[in-house]
Amino acid sequence: MLLYWVVKKIDAIPICKIEIIDLQKVSSAKEGLVDDEKNQSMARIFKLLGEPTRLKIILSLFDNELCVCDLAAVVESTVSAVSHQLRLLRNSRLVKFRKAGKMVYYSIEDAHIKQLIEQTKQHVEEN
C-alpha cells in the first residue's frame, strides 16, 4: 500500500516530458543568484528563523524592546533557553541589545528582518 502512495505522489508532480534548455532563461536566472558565501549566510538566517521559539522571539520584538525575563514570559520558556536563542540571533545580527544599568533590552536589528517576517506572515495569512 505504501508503494502505491509513493508512486501516486511522484506521478502528481508536474515535470517536463522533454529536456530542452532555454539558455536565455537559464542565464537570466543565474544572474539572480548570489555568490556561495552570501548564499550560505542567507540559508543560515532562514535556518535560524525556522525554529519556532526563535521566530516567536523575533515576533515579540516587532513593536517592543524586551529584556530576557519579559521574552521568557512571552514565549513561555525559561530565561536560560531564551538567552541561548538570543545569543544565536544576536550572532547572526537578527537582534541587537542595549544595556540600561543592570538591564539588557533586545530589539530587532534592522528593518530588513522585520520586512522579511512581515511579508512571510502576510503570505501565510493569505492562505
Q: How confident is the model at residue 11 (pLDDT cuts 50, 70, 90)?
A: low
Please state the pTM of the whole predicted model. 0.77
Give the chain's length.
127
Per-residue pLDDT at 3 exceeds 80: no
pLDDT of 118-127, one tens digit each? 999 999 999 7
Classify residue 102 by its DSSP letter: T
Which cell numbers in the block locate residue 71?
Answer: 521574552
Phi, psi for residue 94 in degrees, rounded to 5: -90, -30
Domains of the chain are 41-127 (1.10.10.10)
pLDDT of 19-37, one tens digit each? 778 899 999 999 999 999 9
Per-residue pLDDT at 98 exceeds 90: yes
